[in-house]
Structures are given as structure tokens and as C-alpha cells.
Amino acid sequence: MTATVSPSFSSKDEIHLAYSRLKNLTQQTPFPTIEERRQCLQRLQAALLVNEEPLLDALLADFGHRASQESRLLELIPLMGEIKHAKRHLSKWMKASRRRVHISTLPGSAKVLYQPKGVVGVISPWNYPVLLSLGPLVGALAAGNRVMMKMSEFCPETNRVLRDIVNQSLGENWVEVVEGEAEIANEFSQLAFDHLLFTGSTSVGHIIMRNAAKHLTPVTLELGGKSPFLVAPSADLKDTAKKLVFGKVLNAGQTCVAPDYVFCHHDQKHTLIDYIKQELAAYYPDGVLSSDYTSLINARQLDRLKGYLDEARAAGVECDNLMPQGPVESDGKLAFHIVHQPDDELSVMQDEIFGPVLPILTYSNMDEALSYIQQRPRPLSMYLFTQQSDDQTRCEERIVSGSLVINHTLIQVAQADLPFGGIGASGMGAYHAEEGFRTFSHSKSVLRKRGPNALALLRPPYRRRMHKLIAKYWPFL
């Protein structure tokens, strides 16, 4: 089957025309078969494999420096896992759920039918332009929807390849691609989608939600925030440092679930920092000059991070470069910095850092650390390093977060059978896995009545014998 090639749209009129066309297609075929959905996923999977090298080259071009191995590890492997998982479990997800009917409705039957919502909008960010655009697409297609995708303007080369992949595999009968800057994104989010998923900053999330409210469009918001990294007294500090560096420096920390600040016991701090230095030296022996160290996406992000460090130093806070093997910055790269015990009022403790800057706070006992985390906005992820099961239980029960990961970092994103989503300031709703299918489906109740109409016995007048019996026995009905 040859897919019809559709262009990307970048003007308001074109966006509205594309939306109307997908809406009409949805009305013509409101419930795609399981075969049609599987074919979409299969063709998308095949197109990704064929275009792997162009996609990796495009990511390198957009970031300036980003190792192809890192792009494959962080974007393509998790995405392929999602596609395979959806194909494998789609028949189970689509199966209607049987429910019980009340005794007064017998004989009868009830079920919940998972119906496609219609046209889904997806707004993806620049930090993982492949995974965070095509990942939601997988869930939306599995649920039988048509999709409009607004891709980040900061990744033009990646967008070009993604557009080719979508056109080759799906064509204009399933997906429309939109490109453009903030004005186009604002217009896009005001369309009367049947569901809208946005991944990005909390500040923009407020705008998206206001725009969606005009049509009462249901939204899923993936917003990030400040994910704490809690080191319990029992933690293996060498292993902790390995997992911390893995989660914080991949993609130069430009990850919504990257550890945002560390909380450790004051007796652990110096040993932990020494292990972090050793691990960084093993990862990047030439510091920021190492070819495997990823650049920040643009000068604006670099200046923002340097501003955090300047503000902290001006407030008398110590900031250490843990990559002394090379310059502090080069070609859009910034060396990994520790910020020691910053005050809460500083920007580095107010904003999501999204880069290779890491505040370290200390505590005297775990309750102090847990209380601090509880009092802050709810994080997208929390990381706990411990050898004690009691510590895990306390975090599970006391801290409300999108996810909790014990003794590792980042790997929760690549679990195809786990939902992904935040709560409160870190977002709302979830996708991935079966929860993603449910997010993009409408759970429609279907009740069928058969045989005699027992409810006729309940009609007025209410002075009849039946209602006297109900008044007496209603708690047992």
C-alpha cells in the first residue's frame, strides 16, 4: 500500500483545513478495525527502521553534538518497545469490558466499549523530538484515532525526517503534521480536538489548558518539574553516583525526568561528590570536549543555565565544576556543576533545571528530607537510593509523584507496560501502555435490556404494594 503524501502545515488557514479534513474522515470511519490499527503500527515501525540513519543524522544536526548511540538509546529503543507492546496487546485492550447489571434490570447485559475519541492533537517538545512526538502517536493510533502533530520549531532537521516517516507509513488519512513557532502552537491548541496531549513547561501548560477549555477539550499534560533524588543512609554511594550521572548527564540533562536536586545525609555528601567526579571522568575523559557529551539545544538554554550559576554565586553559594579536564563551556556544551546547599529562593531551586547543573542539599534524618519533598510541588518522578525496604514503603506512602524509581534513574520511561504521567504541577493524565490506550479512548457504557420489563412494577402510583415492599427492603436490593 502506498501512502498519500501530505505536507506540513504552518499557517492558520491550513491548520483549520487539515483539522476539518481529519474530522470528516473520523465521522466517515468512527471505529477503525483492529486490522487497520495494527497495520498503522506495523507501517510506522517499518518506516522507523528504514529511516534510522537519516533520523540519527538529523538529531545530530539539530543538537549540534549528540552521539547517535545516545539518540538510539534514549529515543528509538523506547519508541520501538511501545509499538511492539501496543501491537501485542491491542486485541486485549479493545475487548469490551463486561459489567454486572442491577437486579431490577434483569434479564439484561452491560459492557464498557472503548471507542476512539476522534481527532487527537499532540504538541511535542524539542528535547526528545522523536520519542515525545511518535510515542503519543502510537497510543492514539492504537485507540483508533486520527492525529494532528505540532512539532517543535527548534528541531527542523528532525521534523523533516519525521514528516517523511509519517507520510510514508500513514499518509493523510491518519496524521497531519504541523510546524511553526509560538503563534502556530497557540492556534493549534485552540482547535476543537477530541483530546489534546501537550509535553513541555508548566508555564506553557497553563496556556494550553486555557485554550483547550474553550471547547472543553480533555487534556493530558506532561510538564516535568523538579524530580528529587533522595539518598538514604543505607545507600551504596558508589552505585548511587553511577546511576545519578547516568540520569543527569544523558542528553546533557535535558530530560523531564532527570534528577533535579539531590538530598543526602550530611555525612554522605563529600564521598558522593567524589564518586560523581570519578564517574564523570569515566564517561567524558576530555570533559565538555568529549564527543559523547551532548550540547544544549541553543544559546538561550546555555545562557539560562549560566544565569542560574551566576545568581547562586552572587548569593554566596558555592558552585563547583566537576569536569575540570576541559573548558567550562564549548560549542554549546556546559560542564557539569554542583551547587552546594542553595536557598529555596534561588532560581536553581525554583525552576526545572533541564541541564547539567545539580543542587545538593543535606539532611540530618530521613523524615526531614521527606517533609521537604512533601511541601514542594508534586514531581514527575522521584528517585530513592536505599537498601532498606522500609524507606521504599515510606516514599510510596508519603510522596505523591508521577513515578517512583528505586536504585536507578530514567529507566521508567522505557517500560512499555508502565503508564507515564505527572500529577499537579508536573502534569495530569498518563499515556504509554494500556493507560495510554484508555487515555485516547472514550469508555462508553452500553446497557441492553431483554425479556420482561420488571421496572414496570415500579411505576406510579407509589402507594401500591410493590413500593411498600421497597421501602421496607431497599437496603438489601
Catalytic residues: 222
Q: Are strands 337-340 and 319-321 parallel, antiparallel or unpaired?
A: antiparallel
Based on the fold, state whether residues 184 and 264 are members of the same structural domain.
no
CATH assignment at residue 304? 3.40.309.10
Q: What is the pLDDT along the chain (477 residues), one digit of tens a residue?
A: 334 334 455 678 889 999 999 999 999 999 999 999 999 999 999 999 999 999 999 999 999 989 999 999 999 999 999 999 999 999 999 999 999 998 878 889 999 999 999 999 999 999 999 999 999 999 999 999 999 999 999 999 999 999 999 999 998 899 999 999 889 999 999 999 999 999 999 889 999 999 999 999 999 999 988 999 999 999 999 999 999 999 999 999 999 999 999 999 999 999 999 999 999 999 999 999 999 999 999 999 999 999 999 999 999 999 999 999 889 999 999 999 999 999 999 999 999 999 999 999 999 999 999 999 999 999 999 999 999 999 999 999 999 999 999 999 999 999 999 999 999 999 999 999 999 999 999 999 999 988 877 667 777 887 777 777 778 777 877
In a domain, 235, yes or no: yes
Q: Which positions ≥6 away from 389 have C-beta within 8 Å? A: none
pLDDT at 224: 85
Based on the fold, state whether residues 156 and 98 are members of the same structural domain.
yes
What's the count of helices (H) and strands (E) in the chain, helices before strands? 17, 19
In a domain, 458, yes or no: no
Q: Please, are residues 241 and 259 in contact by the beta-carbon 8 Å criterion?
A: no
In a domain, 173, yes or no: yes
Q: Is 21 helix (H, G, I), strand (E, B) or coil?
A: helix
Query: How far is the C-alpha of 141 from the C-alpha of 116, rounded, in Å?
Result: 9
Based on the fold, state whether residues 214 and 269 are members of the same structural domain.
no
pTM of the model: 0.91
> Cell 579536564 belongs to which residue?
325
Based on the fold, state whether residues 432 and 404 are members of the same structural domain.
no
Based on the fold, state whether residues 161 and 233 are members of the same structural domain.
no
Q: Give, in order, the Cα–Cα distances in Å from 147 to each of 118, 121, 133, 176.
A: 8, 6, 11, 7
The one-letter amino acid at 454: A
Based on the fold, state whether residues 358 and 402 are members of the same structural domain.
yes
Based on the fold, state whether residues 259 and 349 are members of the same structural domain.
yes
In a domain, 315, yes or no: yes
In a domain, 140, yes or no: yes
- In the DSSP assignment, the letter for residue 413 is G
Based on the fold, state whether residues 241 and 196 are members of the same structural domain.
no
CATH assignment at residue 21? 3.40.605.10
Note down the domain range covering 124.
Answer: 8-223+428-443
Based on the fold, state whether residues 112 and 139 are members of the same structural domain.
yes
Question: Number of folded domains in the chain?
Answer: 2
Q: Are strands 195-199 and 219-222 parallel, antiparallel or unpaired?
A: parallel
Q: Please, are residues 22 and 146 in contact by the beta-carbon 8 Å criterion?
A: yes
In a domain, 350, yes or no: yes
Q: How many CB atoms lie within 10 A of CB 305?
A: 21
Based on the fold, state whether residues 355 and 292 are members of the same structural domain.
yes
| Residue whose C-alpha is closest to residue 385's, from 224, 225, 243, 226 | 243
Query: How far is the C-alpha of 332 from the C-alpha of 330, rounded, in Å?
Result: 6
Based on the fold, state whether residues 203 and 283 are members of the same structural domain.
no
Q: Please, are residues 110 and 98 in contact by the beta-carbon 8 Å criterion?
A: yes
Q: Which positions ≥6 away from 465 have C-beta within 8 Å? A: none
- Taking each helix axis from N to C end, the angle separating 34-50 and 77-94, rounded to the nearest 10 degrees, works out to 170
Based on the fold, state whether residues 273 and 209 are members of the same structural domain.
no
In a domain, 188, yes or no: yes
SS3 string, 140-197, reads HHHCCCEEEEECCCCCHHHHHHHHHHHHHHCHHHCEEEECCCHHHHHHHCCCCCCEEE
Query: How far is the C-alpha of 382 from the C-alpha of 359, rounded, in Å?
Result: 15
Q: Give, in order, the Cα–Cα distances in Å from 418 to each of 196, 242, 423.
A: 21, 24, 16
In a domain, 461, yes or no: no
